[in-house]
Structure 1
Amino acid sequence: MGRTYDHHIYDLVELGIENFKSMKSFSYDRKLAPQIGSKPFIAFIGEGFESVEELKHLKEVLLDLFRGEVVSNLNIAGLDRVYVCMALSSNRVFFTHCALRLKKSGTVVPRMELVEVGPSMDLLVRRHRLPDESLRKETMKKAPELIQKKVKNVSQDAVQGKVGRIYIPDQQVGEKALPNKSKGVKRERREAKMKVEAKRQKQDSTIPSDP
C-alpha cells in the first residue's frame, strides 16, 4: 500500500493481515449500516502512532486512504461510521469498522455508541519506505495565492481566535506634576463643616424647653 505524486511512487508500506473477519460474520441491525458517501470518523488509539516511525507512517497513509473529500461544513446526522485503529505493539495494529448509533443524552449533543459492522483485522507492518526529503518538500509547497500574508501584530490563538497587539507609548505618569487642588479641598471642608453646624443649630432650636 502506498501513495503516488506526479506519476511517481511517493511512499510504500507493506502490511500483513491476520485474524481477518468479513462484514458477513458480524450480526447487527441492518438499519445501522453506513450509507454510501457518508463521512467517517477515524480514531487512532495508542501512543505508538506518535512515537513509532512505522506507525506514524501508517497513520499518514490510512488518513489519505479513508478521509475522502475535504469539506468545510459537516452535518452531524451524516456521521454514521468510524474506523478504529488501535496500536497493539510497535508493528501490530488492530483495525475495525464500526457504525455509530446516536442516542439521547439530555443535551444538544447526542450520546454515541459503537456497533462493530466489520471488516476487522490485525495489520502487521513489515516493510515501509519513506519519501525522499526533496520529494516531501515539493509536495508540501502551496500555491502563491493560498499563502496568507502575515499581518503585523496579529496572531491566532486556539482559544481566543484572532489576537491583536496595540503599541502604547510610555505615558510617564509618575513624572507629571499633579494640579494644586489644596484650596478647593479646604473650601469643600469648610462648607461641609458649616452645613453640619447649621444642621445642629436647627435641631437645637426644635427641641422644646422644660416647663
Structure 2
Amino acid sequence: MMRIVKPKTKRAKRMLEKRAPKLDENQKRLMLLQGTKVSSLIKNVMSDLYHLKKAGGNAVKFSKKNDKIRPFEGGGEAPLEFFSSKTDCSLFAFGTHSKKRPNNLVIGRMYGHRVLDMIELGIEKYKSITELGGGRKSAPQVGSKPCFAFLGEAFESKPELVHLKEMLLDFFRGEVVESLNVGGLDRVFVCAAAGDKVYLRHCGIELKKSENSKFPSVELVEVGPCLDFTVRRHRKPSVDLRKESMKAPSKTAKKKVKNVKGDSLEGKVGRIYMPKQEVEGMALAKMKGLKRERRQAAAAAMGAPSEVDDHTVRAEGASSAKKLRV
C-alpha cells in the first residue's frame, strides 16, 4: 500500500516540497553504487563520474558494498528503487566485476523511483582525469553546457546504440536553459562507434589566436575520462511506462492582472482609478468655533455688521431696485 508521508517538522516539509512534482523539474541527480566485487578500474571510472556530476550536489556516491542488487534479475531492482527514493536520484551507475563479466558498469534511469531502463557496458580501456592532467578543466563550470558529437551510422540504426545515445545525452546534458553564452561551451563529448566497440572521449575546448582570421581557432584537448567499451545487455522501458514518463504537463498561462505592470527600475507598478469626488456635498466635521451664534457675538463685540444684518440689507436693496424698475 502507498503510504502518505506527513512532515512533522518545517525542515521535513521543505524537503518534501523540493521533491514534489513541478512544471520545470530540477536537474537529474546521479547515484553511484558498487557490488560485492569491484575492480580498481571500475572504482576509478565511478570516481571520475562523481567528479563530473558533483557540482551543485547532483551526485551521491555510496562506499558500502551491496550484495542484493541484481539489476537484470527479477526482484534485484528493489534496493535501487529504495536508494532512489531516499536520495531523490533519477540516474544510477552500478559497478561490478566478475569472471563472466569483467569490469562491468550498469547505467540506468529512474521514473517515479522505479527503474525505467538500463544498459550494461563492459569497460576494456580507460584513461582517468589524473592520468590526462585534466584537473579543473574537466570539472564543469556553473551554468556551462557540454557539446555532443556522435560519429557513426550505428547510432541511428542499431537499437542498443540508439538506446546508448539517449542515455549519454540524459547523463551529461546539464541544466536546461533557454539561452547560453558561447563562453559556456567549454567541453565536448565525442562518441564514435566502430564495429562492436564504442569510443567515448571527454575533451576541453580551447580557443587560441589565429593568424589569418579574426575568429579564434578551436582545439580539443583530452581531459578525461576516456573510455573504450562494448555494449553487453540493455533493457528498454515498457511501452506504458515510457508513455507515462514522456507526458508533459499542460502549462497554464498566468492570468493577466489588470492595471499592473512591471518595470526594471520601479519594480511592480499599479494604476488606481478614482471616481470624481463631490466635495461640496460631503459631510464634514463641524468645529465649535465656526458656529453662527459665536460668529455673530464676535462681530457685535467688534462693532461690525453681522452676517444676518448684511443679508437683510442686501435683500431690501434688491427689492427697492425691482420696484424702481417697475
Q: Same fold (TM over 0.5)?
A: yes
Tell me what 1:36 maps to.
141
What is the alpha-carbon distance in structure 2 between the residues aligned to residue 77 and residue 137 of structure 1?
37
The correspondence of residues 2-151 of structure 1 with structure 2, limited to 5 A, is 2-27=108-133, 34-37=139-142, 38-89=144-195, 91-104=196-209, 106-107=213-214, 110-145=216-251
Percent identity among equivalent residues? Answer: 52
Residue identity opposite 2:189 in structure 1:
Y
Tell me what 1:158 maps to.
none
TM-score, normalisation: structure 1: 0.62
Tell me what 1:205 maps to.
none
What is the alpha-carbon distance in structure 2 between the residues aligned to residue 111 and residue 137 of structure 1?
44
Decide which structure has greater strand share.
1
- 8 Å CA contact 1:34, 1:80 repeated in 2: no
Paired residues, number: 144
Change (3 A) 1:115 1:139: same
What is the alpha-carbon distance in structure 2 between the residues aligned to residue 138 and residue 115 of structure 1?
41
> Alpha-carbon deviations, 1:160-201, whole Å to 9, x = none?
xxxxxxxxxxxxxxxxxxxxxxxxxxxxxxxxxxxxxxxxxx
The CA deviation at 1:123 is 2.0
TM-score, normalisation: structure 2: 0.41
Alignment root-mean-square deviation, CA: 2.2
Highest Rg: 1 or 2? Answer: 2
Tell me what 1:177 maps to.
none
Question: Structure 2: which 5+ runs fail to align?
Answer: 1-106, 254-326
The CA deviation at 1:103 is 2.6
> Alpha-carbon deviations, 1:80-138, whole Å to 9, x = none?
1111111122x42101111101134525x543110111111112100000001111111
Change (3 A) 1:143 1:45: same
- 8 Å CA contact 2:201, 2:227 repeated in 1: yes
What is the alpha-carbon distance in structure 1 between the residues aligned to residue 167 and residue 206 of structure 2?
27
Tell me what 1:153 maps to.
none
What is the alpha-carbon distance in structure 1 between the residues aligned to residue 235 and residue 203 of structure 2?
30
Residue identity opposite 1:134 in structure 2:
D
What is the alpha-carbon distance in structure 1 between the residues aligned to residue 162 and residue 175 of structure 2?
22
The CA deviation at 1:33 is 5.2
What is the alpha-carbon distance in structure 2 between the residues aligned to residue 8 and residue 35 of structure 1?
29
The CA deviation at 1:55 is 0.3
